[in-house]
Amino acid sequence: MDRHYSTRTRRHRTAGVEVKYDEFLSGKRQYGANQGFRPRWFPDALFDFQQHLVEWSIEKGRAAIFADCGLGKTLMQLVWAENVARHTDKPVLIVTPLAVGHQTVREGEKFGIACARSTDGTVAGRITITNYERLHHFTASDYAGVVCDESSILKNFDGKRRALVTEFLRTVPYRLLCTATAAPNDYIELGTSSEALGQLGHTDMLTRFFKNDQQTIMTNRFYGEATKWRFKHHAEQPFWRWICSWARALRRPSDLGYDDDGFILPPLTERETILEASHRFDGELFSRRAMSLGEQREERRATITQRCEEVASKLSGAECAVVWCHLNDEGDLLERIIPGAVQVSGSDPDDRKEEVFLAFSEGKIRTLVTKPRIGGFGLNWQHCARMTFFPSHSYEQYYQGVRRCWRFGQTRSVEVDIITTEGELGVLANLQRKARAADKMFSELVAHMNDALHLAPTDNGTRREDIPSWL
C-alpha cells in the first residue's frame, strides 16, 4: 500500500461509519455560524462601510465590531438594535460605560431612533440603555438582543463582574460587541469577546490555539507585563479564520475597501516632560530609577506635588483640558491648584459622575480631572484638544484617554503632555513598548482578517502621514 496518499483520500471511522478525513476535520472546526436574519431598515445617514458592518452583524446574529474611535459605532449599535427590535417585536438592551448612556440617547434622537435610559431594571422602551454598573438590576429574558458598548471593558472587570455580564448574555439570542481596543495587550484577550458571544470560552480558546511559556510568568508579573502566549504549530491561520467567523476589525474605512473621505484625523502632538528625581528609596544614598511595581508606586507618591505643579503650569493658558491621573491624592491636589478644575473620582456617586461628564461635554466645565478607568471609555470630547497624562503600564488606558479628544470628527490639532520623573522612566519605556506592540498587533489583526476574507484594502490617497506610527 502506498503510504504517501493524500489526506483527501484518507478515511476515518467514526461511530462505525467511514468518512473522508477532510470531512472529519471540517466537523471539528468551531467557526461561528449565522444565527441572525436579513435586516429590515437602514437610515440614509449610514456611510457605506457602516451599512456593510451593520448588515453583516445582523445576519451573523452574534458578532463583534472592532472599529476605531470615531467611526460611528454608536449609530451602528442603534441601527442594529432597531432591526432586532423590529424583527423580534421585543426590546433590545444597550449597555454602556458610565455617562455614555446620555450620549447614546442624543445620538438616537439625532437619527430618529427612539431609545431611553433605565437605571433600575425596568424596560424603558423598545431600545433601553443602561450602564455596566447597573446591569444586575436587569433580567436577560426581557430582551431579544444586547449590545455591549466598549466591550473591552469586560477584561478589566473582576471575576464576579465579568461573570455577571457573560452570564447575562448567555440566554440572549442576539448579541453585539463593539470596541476600539479588542485586544490592546495580546491576542489572547479576544477570548473574552468569544466567550461573551457564545463561541469558544477563554480557556478553550487558549487550549485550542496557543501555548504558554511558563517560565515567563513570574518575570513578567514583576515588571508589570502580561504572560507570554504563542501560537501552536500551524494554528495561526486557523485562529484568524475562526476570528473572522464572528468579528470584523478596522481603523479606517479603507481597511474594508471603502473611501476614507471624511475620516481623516488631524495632527496629534505628544510632548514628554521628564522631571528631575530627588527621591531616594529607604536605606539608599542615591536616587535611581524605580524598578519593581512597589518602587514605582513609592516614586509616584513621593513626587505628587512636583508632577501636579508641572501639570498646572502646562495648562495655565488652556481654554479647555482633560487631566488624567491615577491616585486620589493627585486628583485632589490638581483640583485645588488648577483654576476652574472639577474632579470626578471613583468614590463619587454614579449620578454625579454622569452629571460632571455631561457638563464637560457641553462646555460648562473648563478643566476635567479624572482617571482613565473612570472616564476613558466611550465619551466624545471633540470640543477639547488639550490633555495631560501621568503614564502608567496600561496602554489601553492611554490610548482610550487620548481618543476621547483625538478622534474622527475632531477639527483641531490635539496636544498631549506626558509628565513623569526620572525615577519612573521605566514605566514610560514600558508604555511606549506596549504602544508599538499594540500598533503592530492591530495592523496584523486587520491584515489577517482582510486576507482571510479576501479583501484588498485600498490606498485612495486620503491618508495622512502625521498620524503617529503607534496608532
The amino acid occupying position 444 is E
Q: How far apart are CA 73 and CA 67, in angstroms?
A: 7
pLDDT given for residue 468 in this prediction = 42
* CATH, domain 268-433, list 3.40.50.300, 2.40.30.170, 3.30.2270.10, 3.20.20.80: 3.40.50.300
Q: How far apart are CA 345 and CA 332, in angstroms?
A: 9
Which CATH code for domain 48-250? 3.40.50.10810
Q: What is the pLDDT of residues 160-177, one digit of tens each?
A: 777 889 999 999 999 999
Domains 48-250 and 268-433 share a fold: yes
List the domain boundaries for the chain: 48-250, 268-433
Q: Are strands 210-212 and 174-179 parallel, antiparallel or unpaired?
A: unpaired
pLDDT tens, position by position, 250-265: 888 998 889 998 888 8
The pLDDT score that the predictor gives to residue 379 is 85
C-alpha cell belonging to residue 284: 539608599
Per-residue burial over 389-400, b = 16 or more CB atoms within 10 Å of its CB, e = otherwise:
bbbbbbbbbbbb
Whether residue 385 contacts residue 415, with contact meaning beta carbons closer than 8 Å, is answered with yes
Q: What residue ranges of the chain have pLDDT lower than 70? A: 1-33, 156-159, 184, 213-227, 277-293, 455-471
Quote the crossing angle between the two packed helices 328-337 and 304-314, to the nearest 10°: 40
Q: What is the CA radius of gyration of the chain?
A: 24
What was the pLDDT predicted at 49?
94
Minimal CA–CA distance to 471: which of 418, 378, 395?
A: 395
Give the per-residue pLDDT at 465.
36
Side-chain-side CA neighbours of 257 within 13 Å: the count stands at 10
